[in-house]
Amino acid sequence: MHAYVVDDSKTMRMAVSKLLSLLGMSITEAVDGAEALQKLQAEEAKPSLIMLDWNMPEMNGYELLNALRADELYNDTRIIMLTTRNEIENIRRALAAGADEYIMKPFTDDMLIEKVKMVLPELDEAEANTE
């Protein structure tokens, strides 16, 4: 499985990428929505998961979320917003726009892993098959 981690914070990209790698995922990182969209359009295979910050330069996470959900190629891609925007209205907007889950920063490793497994239950199945 492949995941994108889209966040303008290098530290956050590294932390999230490390956790997703522990789940057996390969990772592509992007510093903003515009870079992520460019990389996504250049790839033939679509990612299983996109972890998306809201506040970024160029193209923010909400704009990228809307662009992806408008393209049927990404219907099966799970998108988790991972952001400091904790107002209920922002959560509603993101979920209404097609985000599968919403995680507020700061978060724990266990919280992130739980949400990822919630939207990608096949990760749990793969883990069970290797035990």
- What are the DSSP calls for 58-87, one per residue? SS-HHHHHHHHHTSGGGTT-EEEEEES---
Residue 2 has pLDDT above 80, yes or no: yes
The CA distance from 5 to 28, in Å, is: 6
Per-residue pLDDT reduced to its tens digit, 52-94: 999 999 999 999 999 999 999 999 999 999 988 888 999 999 9
Residue 131 has pLDDT above 70, yes or no: no
- Phi-psi region at 85: left, alpha or beta (left = phi > 0; alpha = psi -120 to 50): beta
Residue 9 has pLDDT above 60, yes or no: yes
Name the pLDDT band for 45 (thresholds 50, 70, 90). confident
Report how far apart, in Å, the C-alpha atoms of 58 and of each of 35, 36, 108 are.
Answer: 9, 11, 28
Compute the mean pLDDT over every residue in the chain, rounded to the nearest whole number: 92
Assessment of whether the complete model's pTM goes beyond 0.95:
no
Residue 116 CB neighbours (<10 A): 23
Residues forming a β-bridge with 82: 103
Residue 128 has pLDDT above 50, yes or no: no
What mean pLDDT comes out for the span 100-117?
A: 94
Q: Report percent pLDDT > 90 for the chain.
A: 83
Residues forming a β-bridge with 52: 6, 81
Domains of the chain: 2-121 (3.40.50.2300)
Task: Report how far Cα 11 is from the mean position of its chain's Cα atoms.
Answer: 16
Residue 126's pLDDT is 53
| Residue (of 127, 124, 33) closest to 81 by Cα position | 33
